[in-house]
């Protein structure tokens, strides 16, 4: 892949992932010391349509890509950043599989699902997130992606919003630098057809 499920945009459709970005301050900084960054890549649990599992970027790849895009990052942070990146993507895939199992598990087992591609759409606020923000209680997501899933021969689109989560109980008093990272993932079928709308209504009403 030419980008990763959690990043700053781009489109991917192959089985080799590298980051399209990452959270960071928009500021140019000089290259840091990358000598200790791992070049080992972790294989995800996400299968592609070619049968291969997606591979996450190594610490070194992630660092070089984010630096190239002008974001202020430290080499010493890459182990943590990459671990968070990978865990969030795994969470998104788990959510999609669980939703598919509820809605269409009788016709396509969740183990048969495949990721076709994902498209980064940072800055494009989804209708649901806009409504939830207007109703109160939700902040604006820091990123959005569309994931295209192969459902036993049928390609369907999912909207995935990524939010800054609430700090774990008992940690809110800590400085931000010491608070555990918390990210909330909201994955659901996109509404492109009447069938998609029915799926969303079933989820909302608890009929699935």
* Tokens found for residue 104: 């269409």
Q: How many CB atoms lie within 10 A of CB 152?
A: 12
175, burial (CB in 10 Å: exposed 0-12, middle 13-18, buried 19+)? exposed
Q: How many CB atoms lie within 10 A of CB 126?
A: 19
10-residue block means of pLDDT along the chain (208 residues)?
A: 42 43 33 72 95 92 87 86 92 96 95 93 80 80 92 95 76 58 88 90 79
| pTM greater than 0.85 | no
């Amino acid at each position: 892949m030419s980008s990763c499920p959690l990043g700053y945009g781009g489109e991917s459709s192959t089985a080799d992932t590298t980051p399209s970005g990452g959270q960071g301050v928009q500021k140019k900084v000089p290259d840091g010391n990358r000598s200790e960054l791992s070049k080992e890549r972790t294989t995800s649990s996400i299968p592609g349509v070619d049968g291969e599992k997606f591979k996450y970027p190594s610490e070194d790849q992630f660092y070089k890509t984010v630096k190239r895009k002008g974001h202020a990052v430290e080499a010493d942070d890459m182990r943590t950043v990459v671990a968070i990146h990978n865990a969030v993507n795994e969470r998104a895939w788990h959510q999609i599989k669980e939703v598919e199992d509820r809605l269409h598990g009788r016709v396509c087992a969740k183990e048969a699902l495949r990721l076709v591609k994902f498209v980064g759409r940072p800055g494009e606020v989804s209708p649901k997130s806009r409504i939830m923000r207007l109703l109160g209680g939700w902040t604006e997501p820091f990123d959005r992606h569309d994931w295209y899933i192969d459902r036993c021969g049928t390609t369907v689109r999912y909207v995935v919003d990524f939010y800054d989560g609430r700090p774990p109980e008992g940690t809110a008093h800590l400085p931000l630098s010491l608070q555990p990272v918390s990210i909330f993932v909201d994955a659901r079928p996109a509404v492109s057809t009447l069938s998609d709308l029915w799926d969303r209504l079933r989820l909302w009403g608890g009929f699935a």
